[in-house]
Amino acid sequence: MESETILLLELDERNLAHFLSSLALAALARRVRHEGSTIESIEFRRCWWPKPGDFAIQTELPAEQFRRLLFTKAHGFLKAMKWHPGLGGAAYGILVSGSEIGVNPFIALSGEAGENSPLKGFSARVLPGATLPEQLAKLRAPDSCPDWLNQLDRGAGSWGFDFRVNMHASDAGISSDAENSGHLDPFYPAVELLGLAAAAFFVPAHAWQMKKNALVASAWTQPVPMAMAALAATGCVHGLPARRYKFSRRGAAHGKGRAYHFFPPATLLQTSNGRKLYANT
């Protein structure tokens, strides 16, 4: 699929960090303004998953021009994020970005008091109040980093959403957190921060909860308005074709490292053409 006004972003819908990042970018794409933008042109913008590995954003502008505007908008939003700690433990607090207040993605919105959200995968060593500034310090601006979305660095913790960062712990049998070598771990600053921003500000990720450690979400395969992206991800839009995935959190290591969790690649549950469901077998 090629079009001058369709921006294709290399995102893996099986990667929870990428899936969340796509929804943050969709929300922020609706906020992009330029000299010729109008209400009509903004509402014209669409997004969808045309195939696994690609997230598409269609706008009124040439793709590369919109990419620059979008990444500049996203960078500004992320750089303004701050964690304000609360009472009750390391995971308690709120995220803000400028004047916007988000929800806490690490605390369950229902159930017993003090219950963690399935998105709370990091161990006690990863403190949001310390990890967020570390990640922000590594985030380079789009004008100094052409591949802004995929920039790679080391020396900050992970929220456990990006399996590229966390799979090595499972393979090795021990987490870097347990052996105190986390400063050597690679991580993707823009993806880590976009995933966190999505869960806190833009998507009802808590509503995807299937059971204690699992989420279910849908990668829709036909264009929808940017404002509908979060709803489309729930799989609750009747007649909208989609691929439905289960994201299951599991321990990243054996022994003491089992306290540290992450989301490996999602499992495809079913596909839909808008009329019929086809189970993955």
Q: What is the pLDDT of residue 184?
A: 59
Give the residue-averaged pLDDT of 128-150. Answer: 94
Is residue 112 scored above 70 in pLDDT?
no
What is the pLDDT confidence band of residue 179, given thresholds at 50, 70 and 90?
A: very low
Q: What is the pLDDT of residue 116?
A: 66
Is residue 163 scored above 60 in pLDDT?
yes
Q: What is the pLDDT of residue 81?
A: 98
Give the residue-averaged pLDDT of 233-246. Answer: 94
Amino acid at residue number 267 = T
- The string of pLDDT tens digits covering residues 66-103 is 999 999 999 999 999 999 988 777 778 899 999 999 98
- Give the lowest-confidence range in 14-28, 32-46, 206-220, 236-250: 206-220
Q: What is the pLDDT of residue 125?
A: 65
Mean pLDDT for all residues in the chain: 85
Give the residue-averaged pLDDT of 215-240. Answer: 94
pTM value surpassing 0.75: yes
Is residue 114 scored above 70 in pLDDT?
no
Q: What is the pLDDT of residue 135?
A: 96
What is the pLDDT confidence band of residue 254, given thresholds at 50, 70 and 90?
A: very low
Q: What is the pLDDT of residue 239?
A: 92
What is the pLDDT confidence band of residue 38, given thresholds at 50, 70 and 90?
A: very high
Residue 118 burial by Cβ neighbours in a 10 Å radius (0-12, 13-18, 19+): buried
Is residue 169 scored above 70 in pLDDT?
no
Provide φ and ψ at 238, rounded to 5°.
-60, 130
